[in-house]
């Protein structure tokens, strides 16, 4: 679930974009006491995600509305199937509609793409697919939740959540050995030290320095196979860069422990979901 404080802040900020000047069309055309039922319908096959956010948007606009989840997050949904139901004042439903749909379309799109990546793993594989910090500013918690609904895992959620020594850190620190030594001396003892490498030579340096996790950045498949053989279990092996659906099975079969995929969040298309309104008593 998404922490309430993050949920509330993001929903209020999104509603402010749409409602800072009110909803002129709804206020003019819809009689105040009109009641209605709205159903969010899938227009394509998708993995449902975002029921908590969907409900929060409507309740923020009008606590008197009633919102029902019809499909649990993480479930495959077929075209025409209803995901959520909202009942109450028609004006309130119309005011919240776009914002609520924006959230669940984005989150369901990420969950659906993630499920496709996870589905490419060989049966019984222990390789993990994880996201990255390439997320929409302000929506990271939402998108990381969507990745989990899709069946994958999360990498670190912030710069303070782990030690990941990348190329520019190595340059600024004076080399891999110096960077890892400082990380061991000054970093929290519960955190593992991960080092990004771009060549076989840097891989050897990272192993000698005692890295817990080694990230192979933009390695060809043959280089990844050689790297896994070189590491021999002395560190966890992560692959990053240029990861496509077509490469997932090959990378898992090469023996890597983790595959990080920025595309899960930065390249997912919004799922097609619409809200259909029906007046009560009509």
Place of tokens 């995600």: 49
Identify the DSSP state of 160: T
- Which residues neighbour 63 within 8 Å (Cβ) at sequence distance 6 or greater? none
Place of tokens 């984005």: 106
Radius of gyration of the chain measured on its C-alpha atoms: 23
- Residues identified as active-site: 98, 134, 166, 196, 217
**What distance lies between CA 120 and its chain's CA centroid?**
18
CA distances 65 to 52, 62, 161, 228, 264, Å, are: 14, 6, 38, 55, 33
The Cβ-side half-sphere exposure at 175, using a 13 Å CA radius, reads 8
Place of tokens 């990272």: 206
* DSSP secondary structure of 85-147: EEEEEHHHHHHHHHHHHHHHHHHHHHHHHHHHHHHTSPTT--PEEE--S---TT-HHHHHHHH
Distance CA 269, CA 264 (A): 10
Composition of the chain by helix, strand, coil, percent to 5? 45, 20, 35
**What distance lies between CA 260 and its chain's CA centroid?**
12
């Amino acid at each position: 679930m998404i922490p309430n404080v993050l949920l509330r802040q993001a929903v209020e900020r999104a509603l402010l974009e749409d409602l800072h000047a009110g909803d002129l069309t709804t206020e003019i055309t819809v009689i105040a006491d009109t009641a209605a039922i709205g159903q969010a319908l899938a227009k394509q096959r998708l993995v449902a995600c975002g029921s908590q956010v969907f409900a929060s948007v409507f309740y923020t606009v009008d606590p008197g509305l009633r919102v029902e989840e019809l499909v649990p997050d993480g479930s495959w949904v077929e075209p025409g199937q209803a995901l959520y139901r909202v009942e109450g004042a028609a004006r309130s439903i119309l005011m919240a509609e776009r914002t609520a749909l924006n959230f669940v379309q984005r989150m369901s799109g990420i969950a659906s793409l993630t499920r496709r990546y996870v589905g490419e793993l060989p049966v019984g594989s222990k390789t993990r697919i994880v996201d990255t910090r390439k997320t929409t500013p302000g929506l990271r918690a939402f998108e990381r939740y969507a990745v989990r609904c899709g069946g994958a895992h999360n990498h670190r959620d912030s710069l303070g959540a782990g030690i990941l020594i990348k190329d520019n850190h190595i340059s600024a620190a004076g080399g891999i050995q110096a960077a890892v030594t400082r990380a061991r001396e000054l970093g929290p003892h519960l955190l593992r030290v991960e080092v990004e490498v771009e060549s076989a030579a840097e891989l050897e340096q990272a192993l000698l320095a005692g890295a817990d996790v080694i990230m192979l950045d933009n390695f060809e498949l043959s280089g990844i196979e050689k790297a896994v053989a070189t590491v021999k279990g002395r560190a966890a092996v992560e692959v990053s860069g240029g990861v496509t659906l077509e490469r997932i099975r090959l990378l898992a079969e090469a023996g890597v422990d983790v595959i990080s995929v920025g595309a899960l969040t930065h390249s997912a298309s919004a799922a097609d979901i619409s809200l259909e309104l029906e007046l009560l008593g009509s």
